[in-house]
Amino acid sequence: MTDIDTRELRNCFGKFATGITVITAVAPDGTKLGLTVNSFSSLSLDPPMILWSLDKRSNSLDALKNASHFAVNVLASDQMDLSNKFASPSDEKFAGVELIDSKYGLPLLAGAVAHLECKNVETHDGGDHLIFIGQVEHFNIGDRKPLLYANGQYAIAARHPATRQAEPDEAARSSSDDFIIPLLLRSYWEISDPFYQELQDEGIPVAHARILVHLSHTPELTVNELSKAIRVDMASVAMSVTWLCDNGHLTRLENDKLVISEQGMSHLNTVQCRAERFEQEVLDGYTDQEIEMLKSMLRKLIYRREI
């Protein structure tokens, strides 16, 4: 046996960034199985095969070996709680976890970036781990950002600064680049469109999010006042307000003014957490000084009439 410091070796392995998955299956006795795994890897396209490994000391080892199928749930960047939950030794891992339908009756985790439903083909010895090989029989994918793990902590995927489009030279630059309003509009669209698309993919209409954000700092507005404030047409705002009131996110006062409820604040916190994560991805590669300078200039533009 080689003289290797296993703790340092673990740190060395941790330099390789991986995604985070939760392997789920159903034991022969019908018990749902689930555990967090970052050893997942693609193996073959033809036939379509994947592999992952499990510590031989795991209490779920025998049940997973005998399961006919298993699913690989690739976690999204906002699913750290699920990762921690399924990494724990708890017997109640699935309590309160939203599941979606599976072609093979497997417990698939809602909101994951991708699902791969696999036939449990074979296992191989791998030292202190057992290597599982599965043949992909069904899969689906989404457009969300994946959750990563590197250097012993969670991380998010962001485009490398070197891949950002280079600044156009003077000859190629559009004449509109000399005017602040087109630049502000284009930068807004560049940032907001993918974020709003992510919200819509999560079932959160843009109008819902804008209404909650605005009422959180400017309460007691009518539908008409909200429409003007968030720059969304009256019909869309009225429909969103009706839904938000019916579902307990807003409260309508006697004078027809609206206030955000405690449940609405909880819903808003979900949106804001996504916004904070998205902002980190958008601003990745810029220095703190550049970011603060940008924010300072925008504040001056927004509040210039009050200065």
3-state secondary structure 133-174: EEEEEEEEECCCCEEEEECCEEEECCCCHHHCCCCCCCCCCC
Confidence category of residue 89, pLDDT binned at 50, 70, 90: confident
Report pLDDT digits (tens) over 17-29.
899 999 999 998 8
Q: Indicate if the pLDDT at residue 161 is higher than 60.
A: no
Peptide bond into 219 cis (omega under 30): no
**CA 263 from centroid of its chain's CA atoms:** 22
pLDDT at 15: 84
pLDDT for residue 13: 83
Q: Report percent pLDDT > 90 for the chain.
A: 35
* 233, pLDDT greater than 80: yes
What are the pLDDT digits (tens) for 184-207? 888 887 777 777 776 776 667 778
| Total number of residues shown for the chain | 307
pLDDT at 84: 93
Q: How confident is the model at residue 163 (pLDDT cuts 50, 70, 90)?
A: low
pLDDT of residue 24: 96
pTM above 0.75, yes or no: no
End-to-end Cα spacing for the chain: 72
**pLDDT (average), residues 220-247:** 87
- E strands, the chain, in order: 18-19, 21-26, 32-37, 41-45, 48-55, 69-74, 99-100, 108-109, 114-126, 129-141, 147-150, 153-156, 250-252, 258-260
CA-based nearest residue to 72, from 87, 50, 96, 94: 50
Residue 282 has pLDDT above 80, yes or no: no
Domains observed in the chain: 6-154 (2.30.110.10), 175-306 (1.10.10.10)
CB count, 10 Å around CB of 159?
Answer: 11
